[in-house]
Amino acid sequence: MSIKVNSNKVDWVEGETITELLRRMNYVYPMLVIKMDGVVIPRAQYPEKRIPDNCTLEIIHLESGG
């Protein structure tokens, strides 16, 4: 059982939320956009949104600069 995160195969953890996955994968960027199977997930849903098996996630970190 696995999921894809930014085209990389990652072990799937039953019941894991987006917030828990970000912690497990050491994402520390403050500004992220996450798409689950092509659908943008609102930040407010990260703590409750469970990741299904065989899901494809795109995690995009935004940077600002001048």
Which tens digits make up the pLDDT trace of 10-55? 999 999 999 999 999 999 888 999 999 999 999 999 999 999 999 9
Q: What is the pLDDT of residue 64?
A: 76
> pTM of this prediction?
0.89
pLDDT of residue 66: 64
How far is it, in rounded angstroms, from Cα 29 to Cα 9?
A: 21
User: In degrees to the nearest 10, what's the CA dihedral of 38, 35, 8, 10?
Assistant: -110
Please, what are the domains in the chain? 2-61 (3.10.20.30)
First to last CA, the chain: 43
